[in-house]
Structures are given as C-alpha cells and as structure tokens.
Structure 1
Amino acid sequence: MQQPQKVPTNTNIPSDMKSEVKSDKTSEAWARYNLHEVEEQFDFGSQADTKKFRFYVEGIRCASCVHRLEELPQKNKSILLSQVNFGLKTLELQVDKQLHLGDLGQVIENMGFHPTPLNKDNSILDARKKENRTDLKRIGVAAAVAGNQMLFAVPLYAGLQGDLASIFKWISFTLFLPLLFYSARGFYHKAWSSLKSRQLNVDMMIVVALWSGFIFSSYSLLTGGEELYFDSTASFIFLILSARYFLKKYQERFAAKDIMSEMFLREIFDVEEEGIHRTVTFDKIKVGAHLFLKRGQTLPCDAVLACEDSEFDLSFLTGEAYPQKKQKGDLIRAGSRLLSQEATVVCETENAQTQLANLLNSLAQKQKNKSTYQNLSDIIAHRLTFTVFAIAGLFFLFTVQESGIEAFKRSLALITIACPCAVAFGTPLAQSMGLRRALEKGYFIRSSDVFEKLDQVKKIVFDKTGTLTSSQLKFIKSYPENISDEVKAIILGLEKNSVHPVAVSLKNTWASLNPAAVENLHEISGFGVEGTVDGKIYRLGRSSTTEDENLQVDLTVDGRREAYLFFEEELRTEAKSLVQELYKQDMQVMLLSGDRRQRALEIARQLEIRPAAVHSDQSAESKQAVIEKENPCLYVGDGLNDLQALNAAYVSFAVRGPFEATYQVCDVFAPQKDLSAVVEMLEISRQVYRVIRGNLLFALVYNSIGGVLALSGYINPLMAAVLMPISSVLIISHTVWRMK
C-alpha cells in the first residue's frame, strides 16, 4: 500500500515520542502526523476550536467515491465538514480540536484511498506529479508486457509446436506477472474498497476479468491446453490504464487552467520593469511594474493610476454600466476595463492575490462538484456491472454441466466485453469540455448541473429593466418643468447610494450639483427610496397614477406629490429577434416588470409577447413568488436588482451585476454579453446533453450486442479483450470531436 507523504524535513520528531502518538488503529507512518509540531504545519484553519486539513486523494473516480468521503461527518461527529473537489481530487476536512491529522489520514486510507496531506509548501501540483509518475510507470510496465506478449503469441497463433512452443508459453506466463502484481494494483485497491462498501464498481469487473483470464490461461498451460489469454488480457489492461490516464490528464488540464487564465488567454501587455520594456502575458506582470494599457484592455492586477485622469468600465465588478473617472493615484481593481485611449498604471499586487482572482477561484471550486449527469452515468455503470455479473454467473451455472470449459470462456468474454468503462469516461469529459467552451465564450457557470437544467427548461422569464431594455435611461422632462436646484440636490441625496438606471440618469443630468444631506435614508422594496431633510419625509419612487407612455417617477414630501420625473427607455436592439428565436424553439416567453400594467404591456407589444404572459407591478418579493410558481423556468435578469428572483429560479441567467454577489446566486453570469447569449448558452447545453446521451446510448447498445455475441460463442475472450477498450476509445474520440 502506498505510504503517505514524508513529514517535512524541517520537522524534528524525537524517536522516543513515536510510540506515544501511535495508537492501535493508526500506523506508525500516520501516527507521526499527530505530533503538534507536525500537525500545525498542515492546519489551514483560522478558528480556535477547530482544525482544517486538506488532502490530495488518489483513487477518486466516481460518484460513490465522492459520496463515501463526504458522508464522513455522519460517521464521526468530530468531523464537522467534508468537502470533495472532484476535479482537483482534493478533500477538505474541518474537525474538532481533539481529532488529529494522522488519525484522519489512516481513516481515509482504510477506505481504500491514498491520501496525501497538503501544506503551503506541498502543492496539489506536487502530489499530482507524484501520482502521474506512478501511473506512467504502471502503464509503461503494462505496455512492455503487452508488447512482448504479442511477440511470443504470434508464433503460437501461426502453429508453432514442440518444446519451443512450451518455452514461449512459459515465457508469456512469466512476463504476465509484473502486470498482474504491479500494473493492476490500482484496480485491486478500488475493488477492495467497493467490497467493503458493499457496492459493485467497474474496477471489480476488471479484476474479475483479469484474474479469470490469468487462472484459465495458467490452468490451460499446466494441463497442456492450447488456449492462452495472457496476450489479450495484457492488452486489455494496458488499454484501460491508458484510457483512464488520458481522461485524467484532460480533467487535470481543465482544472489547471483557472478561470482567470481563460479570461486573459489572448491578452498581452506592454510593461516596463527596471527600465526595460517588454511584452508579457498577464501572469508575468510583477509588483512595481509599469503597465501600459490600451483602450479595451482589462486590468489583470490591482494597480495605481500613474497618469492623468482616465475612464474605466467597472461593470464586471460592480454591475454599474456607466463609466467611472479615476484620478492619478487612485487604486484600480483587477477586472476594470479601460475606456480611455491609453493609461499607465503601476502594479500593486500579483494577479493571484487580487479580489478578482479569489472570486474566480471560488467559482471554479463550485464548478468541479459532480453533476446529476455524472452521477447518472455512475449509477448506470454500477447497475450495468451488477447486471453483467448476474448474467455471467447464471449463464455459467446453467451451462457448465453441458458445455464445461466453453461455459467459462463465454462468461469470461461477456464480463470482458461488457465492462462499462466507456459509460464512466464520456460524461465527465463532455462536461469538462462544455464548461471550457462556455468560459471561452464569456460565460461564468456556477455548476455543470446547468447543462442538464437548461435542457429541461421550456419556459423563459425575462426581467424588463436593464435586461430587455437598455441599462441606461434618458431623463426627458419633469413637472413642474423647472425644478429648483434645492429640490434637485435633495433628489440627488436620495439617490446617492443607488445604482438603479433612474439614479444613474439623474446623476449624469445634474452632475454639476452636490447631493443634499439626507437623514434616515433607506430603500423601500419595490418602490424607491425615502429619507428625511429638515424634518420632512421625502420619497422618490415609481408612480402609481401614470398615464404617460414613458417611465414616470414621483417625488413626494410628507405624502404630497411635489414633482414628476419622466424617463425614456429603449429596448435592446437584439431583444425582439431573441424573443422570436425563442418562439421558434417552442419556448414560452414571459415578461416580469415592476412597471404599471400599461407600460409593461407596451413593452410586451413591441416584443410580440402575449399580454397573458406579462406580470406587472411586481416588487422584489412578488417577483420571487412568480418565479417559484413558474418553475422550472429560466429567469434572465439583472444581478443588481433581481438577486431574490435569480436565487429562486430553477435556472438563473444574469446579464450584468456585481460579480461577487451575482455569481453566488446565479447559475450563468454573462457580464460582457448581449441578450443573444441566452440562445447561445441554450445551444451549448443542448450540445453537451446530446453528446452525453449519445455516449450512453452507444455504450449500452455496444455492450448489449457484444454481450449477446459473447454468450453465443461468436466472441471469445481474446476478441473481447480487444473490443472492450475500443468502445472507450470511440466514446472519447466522439466526445472530443463533437465538443470542439
């Protein structure tokens, strides 16, 4: 069994203390980690009464692995939290103070996994490299065995007889042993773990096929028989190991390329470091470097503006659509996009230490949890494993007296060719490629579950303001026509903290005025804002009596209307074509708005949305209630004002909003896209679904036909060992081809 990683060399463990920390259940290798001076190097926790440890866990391959590890708190009350990152193959445990690192490592190892504790000096990459080296060595041995087996098998197939044939057979037997006892060790660990948890998995079928082929071939060799399967079984194991390694490497490549790397994949930056001008990628920018931004470039690090005034678009971070002017010396956060012609900034932090990087890493963690599709594939694989074992066993029992050794050969051929490896390979690969493709197109997806959910959606609900309409309003008139500067200042004071399009429009229109001081300023959900000035209560919000075709906002003082403000809003240019395209796809389209009925119906008329599908006069709470009633639906809204409705929707899609708040509740966030992104995202999800469904259908048909032919005697164990990996190769190739 693989040993845990070595304790860091800077840790001194007195030999007389080893026996003190070792318990009856914890091996000496793990007991060393119970020492306080060792354990504290691996404790990532910040709370006084708990500890937090991270492990890199070899052997996580399916949903049952994740489930067994994440149910640890149910088995031990001292384990408070157990969270698996399937993509990175890491396990994070939060435990009570009395529970020790070494004891945890022993528990995980006893479950059939190979845990490696992670500290700040021992990265996931280091542990992954170690695992990959082991995998490659096992694949290399399997390749050497399979290749040499073929060299000695060909003469036997060609009719070689006599003593030389006997020598070749014994050489084949001897060559097979390294594969049996070294290359296949990973299968044994997983099969044993499956037996302990009373579950059947793919590895158990592989072990049964491997040992059945070995025992049958050895028996045939000892009794002078001609049928040996050392070569085909070796090729079978080599191809399975290679297919698994390919899939794991692709998943690692996806996991290694974080979302921030994808954001700046095609960006290069001009920098000056120590008087030397260079062109570099975002990850090569160092603290203190002068960065020369061009219009349209997004800042990859926190920086200080070193030139004169410049305008930046902060919508990715704040959701605010209007430009913000920054002065020389101002701090500019990573994720800000330059709107001016050019600007010079001085890098203040490395890109990995920015708030943006932390947010994107948090999103990446959520993406790597296993989805329903993946769980479904694992369930199918488990059930198929049980079915194949049952059929093979029953077939052997009912035919062994009549057919003898032929019954065993056919049962072995069935177990070999019907091994459901391909079922487990295709789904995670398709989802990984789907997430990558979506990210490249500018979509931030919280979980791969969104692909399945979007495929099930037949109803789409749009918020109006800031979603179907432009995020900017134009102030066109007021009543009375001439409002005093004093009243304007009070209105600006009421709106000073708001990012609603009404507030933005007023701030831009009356930019020369300073906001008045407003006391008790607060928002009234679904209406507007309210505050006190000189003992009078001022309220600014939507009108309850408007008959104007434009958006109307009322200003009241102590309940009396003092002024009316009118704004013009425009539909997004792509809104009507989007609605028509959704109708062509047999989608139900609904409109949700806080506007009065007349105004909401006018917008619906322009978009050709049926009046019965329009919900007007909606507050934030009532929007949430409508969404809950209409679920399962896709809600497309504005992350600034629709967080409650977004959170309630079966699938939520935000077109803008502050990144940190929006991605926490939203399934898909597309801050740099227009409304046509809805159709594009639907197409990506359908493509992922089609690939997964096609893979599952192909695997089931392939295995069914192969199983029937094996039981009928048309496919012998040798042919089965060759045909089984072909199905995995075909599914992987199909997935890569369709998802490119």
Structure 2
Amino acid sequence: MPAATPSEPAPATCLHCGSPVPSGSVTRDFCCVGCEVVHGLLVEQGLTRYYQLAQGKTAPAPEPRKERAFAWLEPLVARAESMPGAVCALEVDVQGIHCAACVWLMNELFRRQRGGAGLTVDPALGKVRLQWRRGAFDVAEFLRGVEGFGYRFGPSRKRPERASLDLPIRLGICAALSMNVMLFSVSFYVGLTPEDGDVFGLFTRLSLWLSSAVVVVGGWPFFRSAIQGLRRGVLHLDLPIALGILLVFGMSLAQARGGRGDVAYFDTLNTFVTLMLVGRWLQQRVLERNRRFLLADDGAEGLFVRREEGARLATVRAAEVSDGDVLVIAPGDLVPVDAVLLDAGARVSTDWITGEPGERAVARGEALPAGAFNAGRVAVRLQAKQAFTDSPLVSLLRRAPEASGGAALHTRFWDRVSRRWVVTVLCVSALGLALWWPAGPDKALEVAVALLVVTCPCAIGIATPLAYELVQARLRRAGFFIRSTDLLDRLPRVRKVLFDKTGTLTLGRLELVDAGAVSGLSPATRDIAFDLVSRSNHPASRCLSGALAREGARFTPEARVAEHPGQGLELLRDGARWRLGRADWATESPGVDAWNAPSPGEDGEAAVSAARSPRAGRVDSAGGVQATGAGRVSRPGARVEVLLSGSGLAAGPVLSRDGVPVAFFQLRESVRPDARREVQSLQAEGREVWLISGDAPERVRDMADALGVPAGHTLGGQRPEDKAETVAKLDAADTLYLGDGVNDSLAFEQALCAGTPAIDRPVMPGKSDFFLLGEGLGAIREALRLSARLRHVVRRLLALAIGYNVVAVSVCLAGWMTPLRAAVAMPATSLATVLFTVWWLAASRERAAATPTPPLREVPA
C-alpha cells in the first residue's frame, strides 16, 4: 500500500474574527491587518468585553484609513446645531455593524466622550442617531474614533426596503393564526362532526375567520406578484400559488357555509401560505444584511467639496462645481474636477482613479487630475479648470445599468421552470375537473382543488430559498458577501476570472523585502528611524513604522521631524542630522557609492562592503538602486538583500546620518498571502485567469510571472475605457471581474459578475455583485464551488418534487385525496425537501474537504 500523504495542518484562526488565516500570511494570529489593528485597539483601551458579546460572530475588519475626509458631515452638523434647544441631534449611516457587540462598542466609546447626551444604534438598518449638548461635543472627533475600529460613517441614505418591513410582520401574523387553525382541524380529524352541534359550528366559524385573515394578510404578496406578471405577459411562479390559495379558500368557504367544515382545507391552506412566506423571507434576509453592511451608494451625488464664496467657505455637492471655482481640499478630500494648485505645494494620491498606489508632490501652478486625493496634512487651495459635468469622474461614477446581455442569461433556467410548472399545474387541475365533472360539480371541484393543494411548489418555494440562504451564510463566514439576488445563479457559468492588480491581488500597501534590514539596526538607530517614520503618513513610512514597532523601537515625544515633500524626513539629534528618504537627498551627494561609504563610527552600521564581487548595486542619483550584478550585500549590523527581479519592487528609502548611508530598506507591493495559490488553483480547475491593470506593463508582467499567469493573459497600461473594452471582448457570459479602483467601474458593467475588496472606497461597492473582507482570495474559489453545488442541489430538489407530484396527482385523479391526507402530505413533503437540502449541502462540505475540486465541465444555458 502506498504511504499515506500527511495532511496539511489546519489553518490558524484569527484572534479577532475567527476566520481562517490565509496560507502564507506573515502572522498566524490574524487574517488581515485590519483585524490586527482593531484587536490591538480593543486590548489597549480595555474594550475586550466586545469579544464576549460577539460570540464568534465578528466579521473581518477593514484596515482603518487615516485622514478620511468628513466634508459631508459639516453641513449636517451645522443644520443640527441651528435647530432650537440645548440638545442637538443627527442621524448618520454606519458601515460594518453586524451584531450586539458593535452596538455595545459604539455606546461605550460614546460614553467616554464628554458632551454626549444619547446614542441610539439600529444594527438592522445600519444607522446611528447621536444627541449632544450644544457646543460641548465634537461629532467629527467621535466618528473618527469609532472609525478606528473598522467602521465607516456617511450621510443618512439607507432606507428599509418595503419587503423587509412587510414580510416579517405578515409571517408572524400568519404563523400565529395558522397554529390556532391547526388545533381546530385536529378536532375534526379525531371525530368532531356536525352532530356535535354548537361546538362544531364554533370551530368551523373560527377556522373560517382566521383563515380569511391568513389569505388576506399572507396571500397578498403572491396575489400582487401574479397580477404584475400577468400584466407583463409573464407566467410567474407566484401565479399557481395565488390560484391555489384562492381556489382552496373558495372551496373551503363553500364547504363551511354548507355546514361541512370537517372536509375543508383550512389547515392545509394556512400551512401552505405560511411556508411560502418563510421561503420568500429567506430569499431576502441575507442579501439585505449584506447590503446594509455597507454605506448606501449615491454616486456623484454623494461627493462633497468646500468652495470659496467670497469671505465664506461653503460645503457643496461636487455636481455644483463650475469652471473657475476656488476649492479648498482638506486632507483626505477628493479633487472632483481637473484643477490647478494655487498654494505653494501639496502631496496628492491618485490611487482611487488609477488603481495604482503612490503619492507625488505638486508645486504651485501644476495640474491635479480629477479623482486625486489630498495626501498631505494640510488643506490646499485649487482652481477648477472645468465644470463637474465635464469631469471624467461623471462617467465612472454613473449608476450601473440594469443587467443585460450575458448577465441576464442566468434567468433562463428559472423562467423555463416557472412557465412549465404553471402550465402543467393548470392543465392537470383542468384535467381533474373534466374527468370528474360527470360525477357532479361538487366532486369535480373537490378534485381540482385537491390537485392545486398537493402540487404545491415546495421545492421552489421553501427548500430552494433555504439552500440559497445556507450557502450565503457560509460564504459570509468566509468573508464573501453577496449583494445581487441572482449572483449564485450566475457564478456556475464563470470560466474566466479577471483580476486588477493593485489593491486587488496586492494589498495597496508596501512591505519590507528583508526584515534583517530592521532587526540588524542597533536599538538607538531603530529608535531614531521610528521617530522619523511614525510622524509621516507616507506608505513607505507606514510600512517601516510597523516593522520597527515589532522590533521594540521606542517613540520620543519631543522629537521634531521635518517632512520634505518628494524627498523624505529629517531629524536633528545630538548634533547629528538624520535623514530617511531618496538616496540622492539623504546622502546629499548624487552618485555616491553607498555600498562602499565610510563608517560614521556608530556600531559600524553604515560601513558597507561588498560581500562578493561584482558588487550587488549602488545608490544612484535617482534615488533607486542600480543593479550591477546579482547577490547579497552585507554590512555590520544590517543585512540587505537586493532583489533584481520580482513583482512590484519600489525604490527603497535610505537612512543616513550626516549624509552617510546607515541602512537601505528595499520595499515592494504587498501581495495577498494566498494570491499565487488561488490563481494557480483556479487555473488547475480549468478557468482562465487574466491580469488587467492600469500599472506599467513591465510591472504587470513581473506580477504575472510571480503568480503564474500566462503572458498572453496579461495586459498593462490599461485606461478605464481599455479595461471595459477588454472585458467586453473576453466576456461570453462567463467572466468574473475583481477590481478596487474607480478605473474598474466601466469594466464592472461589462462582466457577467463583478466584485471588490475595496469597501472603504465610494462607488465600487455599490456597483459590485459581491464584496470581500479580509486579505485572502480563497473565498472566491469557495463561492464558485458552492454555487455549482447549489445548482446541483436545486436540480435534485426539482427532481424530488416532480416524483412527489406524480404520486400526488395520481391519488387526486383517482379521487382518493381527502383534507386529512392533504394536511399530512403537504407539510411532510416540505419537511422532506428541507431535510434533503440541509443534508446535501452539509455533505458537500465534507466531500469538499476530503477531495480536490475536479476540472470544470460546461454548464448548459
């Protein structure tokens, strides 16, 4: 016998949310940086009771974004404080709330801030109502503090969907009434007859009155849907449900008025209506929770900007910006139109519009593109060079059109099922009526009604919504949140998976190539480096700050650090000038051979000598590394490995003392820990994987090589229009697109289905069919697998329903169906289909854990 293959160790679970830690993650304690940050805050601030209240229901936390704009908040607070009274009130939407622990956390943070008068949190809808004493409470400060825990606030736009308020109430009423009717019916089945006089009449009348209420309250959603379908010329599945309810009630009413309540179908009718409502509620429950998890998207209408209007500063909607307006862009604010900088200098980031990371310095008079963010620490003044109607953001922010073309193909299966079911049930009922008409109208009507009762579409009305709910709940635990009702019907058709690069396959932040560059520094030098980077919000500084903190670097509060835009950071200490930044600026001598610079005499950190010949590299005048050979460069106290090939290498900053290099930190884009494994697994299952990015083609090719994506499936330098055109050419109703920037917006509209991991950015979540939480990509493959399994289970359910209905129809046509038999058969088949659904989906989980996923087969349309 062959030796048993050792099984892989079970993945570690995140200390914050309990999700599996992606394979290859730097830490086995947390699934993502967001969870690590939030966990640290909860422990630091003594808020760990959060975990006791959460009871394992916490979702992965997005990484908190610093310096987020609150321009939308200013007019709302001003309006609230303009109202009379000592207490002001404001309602805002919140993203990320999902359980009672979130409510407790927000209330606890609110309690710790002075000036608050009251806080009401609605977790079901995702809304927060604040009350505070006028002039004694900083609303923006409180919201920023809460956002540090992974939440996000926005204007109050969420509204409860009509069905979310309507269905639970109808369901509760019908369930309560149905239980009473079933009790009355039991008395008929055990021997209560018309000969029992007043008791029989009372139970009959009560059954009739309660059933009438159930038909009116619970039947209305199906009546309305059936009428709307007939007006559009569509035989909707709700049509036989509505007809069955009306005919069964009509016949039962006739029997009751004739004094024969014991042969009426009141109990079966009530149970049927209630179960159909349960199925309808299951269909919407998880989807609404996922939608409410996010802020409501308002497109361009949700963007605000500060505009100079004479001596005052007004906050207006971006749509009101005209050519020539002077705008004030605070840190974190968006530039809504192409503009020119009026101040001396600024730092901007264009990652939202291009999808690529990086900040750059802008001088007075230089142009800033629409979609740039103020990445600096102070507000800057701009002059608009176009009206917002001419801004390139308008087309990217437009509302997504209704699904059409390939995205609508998934409906064919259910359309066919609905039409055939309606026609078959009506024909069989008509046949029963015709066959038994010679025996008398009463008997013929009884048979026809019995056929409508026992041929209930329980597999579609109850078990199928349950199957969808179970799959969606399982995907939520994996960090995959579905927003579109029909996504699980579309996913089995996916044969091509298209990835954007930056922020999608990468994490939108930098990472240190060699940890030895930090650990090899002396403690004193680490402290100086930490003082420099901890006072900067530059991506490189954030990366180094985390690495230095993990090595125990200490912060000096009185340190005074100067940030030179486009150059780096500078600190004077004990008569020495320390710099961290571009090599030519840090060393003050372009072309200095940093690898052979003399030692400054402190621990010999900067004594750089080649470990082998030829030298591995030298610092050039552009601030990067010139490769002159391959190899490792060593120095006393600091180990640096120069990677001459790899994905997304960034020119690393140099730490210097009095112009002499002390350390070099090679940085690169941080790739999602399981990206390579997931890409190769998708390809092994028979799916095409494409890499489509606006980044430089050579950088995209490097990433593709690192992940194993074929060169022919790699496209770089793509504009938003290019991406959309590429997706349109590739899509044959079989593409899944994953992107994070507004430059992916047009491509989203062309793909069969689209999703985003960027829930902290506007617009994209509102256009996506699903969104991801956490740093892993494994949930995409899990969703593809479960959707295929779901389709298989649903088709088995239909086969089971057909088999049951063949038997039931035969019994009815033979005239053997009675109210008692119908009362047993209908709930019994409903229970059987529910148990079948749960068992098959649970069995699929076990089989998936034990066997690899087979190659794909074509799924018929």
After TM superposition, the score normalised by the length of structure 1 is: 0.49
Where is the helix percentage greater, Structure 1 or Structure 2?
A: 1
After TM superposition, the score normalised by the length of structure 2 is: 0.43
